[in-house]
Structure 1
Amino acid sequence: MEDEELTIKRAAMGSKPAKLVFLVAAMMFFAVLALDITLPAMVLSAMALSNWLVLSAGTTQYPRRRGTA
């Protein structure tokens, strides 16, 4: 009877290696999710910075014409 209860408890709680595998998989998922947000934000920030640098230089003044597309 005691062995049967012990087997049921182990089945309900899961084995230690299975928990470790699940923990590692969850950590990898959330690490990739963070990179999925961070990398596009860094690329967009670099694009905005380069645009600001080009526009703030102001050394070249291009003539503006109205009505031309």
Structure 2
Amino acid sequence: MARFALLVVMMTFFAVLALDISVPAVVLSLMALSNTAVLPRTHALKHGARREQAA
């Protein structure tokens, strides 16, 4: 019984550790995608695109 409890504790620890890494990565990726979706022109200008000249 003690070995089973230790196994459950270890499984829980490593499952939470994996979530601790993956959740912030997903959140940061969504933030980057939303930034380019909301401000596509600003994003393009930051990365070397030329401004369009008005006629």
TM-score between both structures, scaled by the size of structure 1: 0.56
Aligned residues: 42
Q: Structure 1 vs Structure 2: percent identity of aligned residues? A: 60
Cα RMSD (Å) of the superposition?
1.5
Larger radius of gyration: 1
SS in 1 for 2:39: helix
Q: Which protein has greater RCO, CA pairs closer than 8 Å, 6+ apart?
A: 2
Structure 1 segment 14-25 matched on structure 2, within 5 A:
17-25=1-9
Unpaired segments of 5 or more residues in structure 1?
A: 1-16, 59-69
Q: Structure 1 stretches (4+) deviating beyond 4 angstroms?
A: none
